Amino acid sequence: MKSGISNLHLCSSPLPLLELAQIPSISTFKRPDKYIAIKARITAIYYEDRVAYGYRCISDVLHKKDERVNHKKVQRIV
């Protein structure tokens, strides 16, 4: 029975490889969320009137408040 590196090609997950090389997995490198402020504004608009807002209405409200956010970005966040 072989052990070590010669057996690593049989693994379906890269986690044993990362552990063997003492490299942390990519899930430990979390990027900070740069859209926290926009998400807070969107949730405030959504819960302001308890009306079923879609991304188009939220985009319109943000534009009326002179906050320039792309409608695609609002759609991804909502």
Q: Is the predicted pLDDT of residue 2 greater than 60, yes or no?
A: no
Domain residues for the domain of 45 are 36-77
Is residue 45 located within the same domain as residue 25?
no
- Tens-digit pLDDT profile for residues 29-46: 677 888 899 999 988 888
Mean pLDDT of 9-13: 57
Distance in Å from the first CA to the final CA of the chain = 53
Instruction: Tell me: do 59 and 44 sit in the same domain.
Output: yes
How many other C-beta atoms lie within 10 A of the C-beta of residue 35? 13
Given this model, what pLDDT does residue 32 score?
83
pLDDT above 60: residue 10: no
Pair 18, 49 in one domain: no
pLDDT at 6 over 60: no
Q: What is the mean pLDDT of residues 6-27?
A: 62
DSSP state of 34: T
Helices (H), 29-70: 36-49, 55-64
| Residue 16: pLDDT over 60 | yes
